[in-house]
Structure 1
Amino acid sequence: MNEYLIYPFGKTRSAIKLVNLFLKRIYQSMDTKTQSLESSLTVPSVQELALQNPQKVPPRYIRDDDGDDDFCTFPSSDPSLTIPLIDMAKLVNADTQQDELHKLHLACKNWGVFQIVNHGVSSLKNMGNQVKRFFELPLQEKKRWAQKPGSLEGYGQAFVTSEVQKLDWNDMIFLKSLPIQNRKLDLWPQNPPQFRETLEKYSEEMRQEATSIVSFITLALGLEDTKISESFHEGLYDIRMNCYPPCPEPERVLGIIPHADNSGITLLADFGDFPGLQFLKDGKWVGVEPIEGAIVANIGHIIEVMTNGIYKAPEHRAVVNKTKERLSIVTFCYPNPSIDIAPAEKLIGEGNKQVYKSMTHAEYFNRNFEVT
């Protein structure tokens, strides 16, 4: 495995401690019978738990009960630090494109994440409303689209591999969206009535957005090869819709544990009014202040490989609130499986060391992250 993908922020003491704690949690949670991350065990609904107005968090959700406080609580950052903002309208305007491309380059290189405004995804608000209505359904109704044994798709929780592992404070529904033949429509909710139709439109618009963003990322690096962006137009798109209910002890739980994405790029629509999404920057967590109608984009490991490590996949997590619910829609965008995942030729040679070896799609997803 590539050392950088284990220590994405360098071998600082805090980074090593975070990774060691993360791996400890994962390995402790797995037994020899349940070591697959392609499925998830059934666990109680966090929404239903929150509706009972508990005074304390059940032990299985508590993340600070064994002395590993740093696993949850890296220091908060200077409030003056803010996630970069990219204006898509300026990227498509010839008069402003170069300045905005420079901003995009710095955002990808220094942060690995940015917020996008003026993106033109018209179904964003409607999709958010459909997700809200879905999570407002009675539990038994939501269970009509519950995960099935051996699959992550459907309503439930992700990556629960053991009856004793720690749990995230969220419920979710995860669906494969594109290409169309990957869809399992028996898991696509028919209630609320417009859910499927809205998700179809949303998926297409997010594909167009991802393709456009990746094309500008390649331009920001001075690459003229359009093969990368074209591969995303014919790529794979998975969508995860999250509900983070209010929590009586938010400082003791995590909505989602720290991780970096294995996608090419991840696009997130936030429907909360507090910074529940956080990215690790220089050893400190930086909250993403929600901007109505904006999309949060972060680099995944595939783009990290394709850019030869110039742009890096950032560590991020979700935190929760004591009184407020938060919803989010996350689109994981992957290139077409036929394309090799490899550094762009222009970024290697002539004194530029090739950081990552070339991989097929299958090798990448078998986690063969080897350095040359």
Structure 2
Amino acid sequence: MDPEEVDNGSVQEDEGLGWGKSLPVPSVQEMVRKDSQSVPERYIQEHNNRPLDSEFSPDLFEIPIINFSLLANGDEEEQRKLDISCKEWGFFQITDHGVTEKVLHDMKAAEAAFFELPLEEKKKYAMGENDLQGYGQGYVVSEQQKLEWCDLIFLMTLPPKIRKFKHWPVSIPGFKEAVETYSTEMQKVADELLANISLLMGMEREDLKSLHGEMKQAMRMNYYPLCSRPELVLGISPHSDASTITLLLQDDELTGLQIRHKQKWVPVKPIPNAIVVNIGDTLEVWSNGVYKSIEHRAVTNEKRSRMSIATFFIPGDEVDIGPLESMVDDKHHPRMYKKIKYLDFLRHSLGGKLDGKAHTEFLKLHAE
């Protein structure tokens, strides 16, 4: 399929976010719809990147589960669990988070309705020239790199003034309302998590949120088509997130997310209606490496397509990120990261393909 078939070819009337861009490439969903048996060479990962069974951890590893309601009510055991999760795992699932099943269901239905649209209709919401918002693929920076088995739509969701509705498929009944409601609920959950992490870092409840300046929220809706040779491809390559924290709504039945733990890949088994939380690079830097942003990836399967929704919480563009004084001890825990404007870090991370922890390594002082 020619890449131009999914390039909307339109010239945007503005410059977009200025964070970077991703090259237009064919829709994987459309490619599979036309031929479900072929795996084009450009999607076949190098051997050392393929999801090999030998890399999986034994089943004795499962990411921690935290009762969000207890945490929000100051339960010391859940706070201790949160601290260990952030230090040793970088990932955990939260249950009893107060977001209703209807809100979660409506959000999943809105995403599904978008990906059910004909290609020509989806192309109306394609990413612009210098904008990552919209429909397409992420982190495609060269014509030579291996591609991921995933289509996505990326939207800036908060604050409301940065939304670009030309990229929102508002023609889908209920789409806008579902995203707005879900976005508001995710913000409440993130605020409570950040407040608890702030206390663990020796600060006041509101300090971590305040550090963001005008906090931004972005949403990435992922569509992973089924694949006849899932052992050859990746839905998303190994990477850590450039966010402070990320909240992920998974498929309730299919396991696709895997995280790197003790040099093995641990599948994150879905818990119906739970939300997966992970630490991002920004929090790793602010915590001076005490809390870890962990590599994760998504794999595909032969049986059916899978969808997920990642919501990212990030600082304002001009905010400086660097180790907080409360997390630095010259004798026992010296400063490990340089100070950098968040926008500069974001442009660096979006300027290359997904490559493990390379972007966090760039922030370390020894990288100078």
TM value normalised by structure 1: 0.84
Structure 2 match to 1:295: 275
Counterparts in 2 of 1:270 and 1:202: CA distance versus 1, 3 Å? same
Structure 2 match to 1:355: 336
Report if aligned partners of 1:269, 1:330 keep a CA contact under 8 Å in 2.
yes
Structure 2 match to 1:114: 92
| Partner SS, residue 298 of structure 1 | strand
Alpha-carbon shift at residue 370 of structure 1 (Å): 4.0
Report if aligned partners of 1:89, 1:118 keep a CA contact under 8 Å in 2.
yes
Find the partner of 2:139 among 120, 142, 159: 159
Alpha-carbon shift at residue 254 of structure 1 (Å): 0.2
Structure 1 match to 2:288: 308
Report if aligned partners of 1:237, 1:331 keep a CA contact under 8 Å in 2.
yes
Within 5 A, what are the aligned runs for 1:48-67?
A: 48-64=30-46
| Partner SS, residue 223 of structure 2 | strand
Find the partner of 2:68 among 84, 88, 91: 88
Alpha-carbon shift at residue 264 of structure 1 (Å): 0.6
Report if aligned partners of 1:72, 1:253 keep a CA contact under 8 Å in 2.
yes
Report if aligned partners of 2:252, 2:273 keep a CA contact under 8 Å in 1.
no
Pair 1:181-2:161 in alignment = yes
Alpha-carbon shift at residue 143 of structure 1 (Å): 1.4
Alpha-carbon shift at residue 342 of structure 1 (Å): 2.5
Name the aligned partner's letter for residue 361 of structure 1.
Y
Name the aligned partner's letter for residue 162 of structure 2.
N
Equivalenced residue count is 332
Alpha-carbon shift at residue 221 of structure 1 (Å): 3.4
Within 5 A, what are the aligned runs for 1:333-352?
A: 333-337=313-317, 339-349=319-329, 351=331, 352=333
Alpha-carbon shift at residue 148 of structure 1 (Å): 2.0
Within 5 A, what are the aligned runs for 1:208-223?
A: 208-223=188-203
CA distance in 2, matches of 1:354, 1:244: 40
Which segments of 5 or more consecutive residues in structure 2 lack a partner in the other structure?
A: 1-17, 349-361
Structure 1 match to 2:83: 105
Name the aligned partner's letter for residue 99 of structure 2.
V
Counterparts in 2 of 1:235 and 1:277: CA distance versus 1, 3 Å? same
Pair 1:230-2:216 in alignment = no
Name the aligned partner's letter for residue 38 of structure 1.
G
Within 5 A, what are the aligned runs for 1:117-156?
A: 117-122=95-100, 123-156=103-136
Report if aligned partners of 2:252, 2:271 keep a CA contact under 8 Å in 1.
no
CA distance in 1, matches of 2:316, 2:192: 15
Find the partner of 1:365 among 346, 356, 362: 346
Find the partner of 1:196 among 171, 176, 185: 176
Counterparts in 2 of 1:267 and 1:45: CA distance versus 1, 3 Å? same
Q: Which moved more, 1:51-60 or 1:245-254?
A: 51-60
Alpha-carbon shift at residue 332 of structure 1 (Å): 1.1
Alpha-carbon shift at residue 233 of structure 1 (Å): 8.4
Report if aligned partners of 1:207, 1:233 keep a CA contact under 8 Å in 2.
no
CA distance in 2, matches of 1:346, 1:299: 19
Report if aligned partners of 2:258, 2:267 keep a CA contact under 8 Å in 1.
yes
Give per-residue Cα distances to partners, 1:57-89, cap 9 Å, x unaligned: 11111114xxx3345436100111101101111
Name the aligned partner's letter for residue 112 of structure 1.
G
| Partner SS, residue 97 of structure 2 | coil
